[in-house]
Amino acid sequence: MTGRPLPRLHAITDAAVLARADLGVRAAALAAAGPALALHARDRGATTRALAAVAARFVAHARPAEAAVIVSGRPDVAAAVGAQGVQLGAGDLAPADARRVLPHGWIGRSVHTPEEAAEARAEGADFLIAGPVYPTPTHPDHPGAGLELIRRCAALGLPLIAIGGVTADRVAELVAAGAYGVAAIRALWEAEDPATAAMEMLDAITR
């Protein structure tokens, strides 16, 4: 791992976020939260070149405030651009294999059930992103797994980041259920003031 604490707030991207004309401005505003925040370069439809370009751009925005950058699915891209971690999905490398490519970064794993969480821990993941907890437009056919998913996955002992319909007013109950931190797309990237939105969520996490 990196030797620094895992950020407690994760700003996840998708294709719509990455297509924004003001992406750089918003990334810099979020990164101003510092080491407690991670920008996630995530676009499953992107080419390797495009994902690397986004990740390198995020690293440049994150460096002044010492925010972190995590790349979705590609430990090789994370290593190439100097990112601090990789977030793996079901079809990606196993955590132990990703660590061979990114030996000093965080290895995260996205999970949707306690069984997947247990498997990720056994395979050597450093942290989990679990969800969707609440209904979200990102997964319109999924009702949300609820707080019980957070309780059961957090009980395994790895730092757990809750995702899916996360807003500032839901953070307290997620932390009370065992979440180490939270992740969001729209609540951060589409906020009128991303920096304020990030600070409100971080305040709710640490309150």
pTM here?
Answer: 0.96
- Judge contact between 164 and 138, C-beta under 8 A: yes
Is there a domain that residue 171 lies in?
yes
* Number of helices followed by number of strands (H, E) in the chain: 10, 8
Q: pLDDT tens digits for 115-154? A: 999 999 999 999 999 999 998 776 666 678 899 999 999 9
Band the pLDDT of 2: cuts 50, 70, 90.
Answer: confident
* pLDDT of 3: 83
Is there a domain that residue 71 lies in?
yes
Q: Which of 52, 55, 61 is nearest to 27 (CA)?
A: 61
Mean pLDDT for the chain? 95
- Residue 106 reports pLDDT greater than 80: yes
* pLDDT of 139: 63
* Six token digits for residue 177: 């259920």
* Structural domains in the chain (count): 1
Q: pLDDT tens digits for 9-18? A: 999 999 999 9
Is there a domain that residue 131 lies in?
yes
* pLDDT of 136: 78
Higher pLDDT, 90 or 6: 6
* pLDDT of 144: 85
- CB-based burial, 3-41: b 16+ in 10 Å, e otherwise: eeebbbbbbbbbeebbeeeebeebbbbbbbbebbbbbbb
- Residue 157 reports pLDDT greater than 90: yes
Is there a domain that residue 1 lies in?
no
Mean pLDDT within 166-191? 97
* pLDDT of 143: 76
Cβ count near 161 (within 10 Å)? 28
Q: pLDDT tens digits for 49-59? A: 999 999 999 99
Percent of the chain with pLDDT over 90: 91
Residue owning tokens 């979200």: 136
Is there a domain that residue 4 lies in?
no
Percent of the chain with pLDDT over 70: 97
Mean pLDDT within 181-201? 98
Is there a domain that residue 2 lies in?
no
Q: pLDDT tens digits for 49-90? A: 999 999 999 999 999 999 999 999 999 999 999 999 999 999
Is there a domain that residue 3 lies in?
no
**Range of the structural domain that residue 74 is part of:** 9-206
CATH code for the domain of 138: 3.20.20.70
Is there a domain that residue 155 lies in?
yes
- Residue 104 reports pLDDT greater than 70: yes
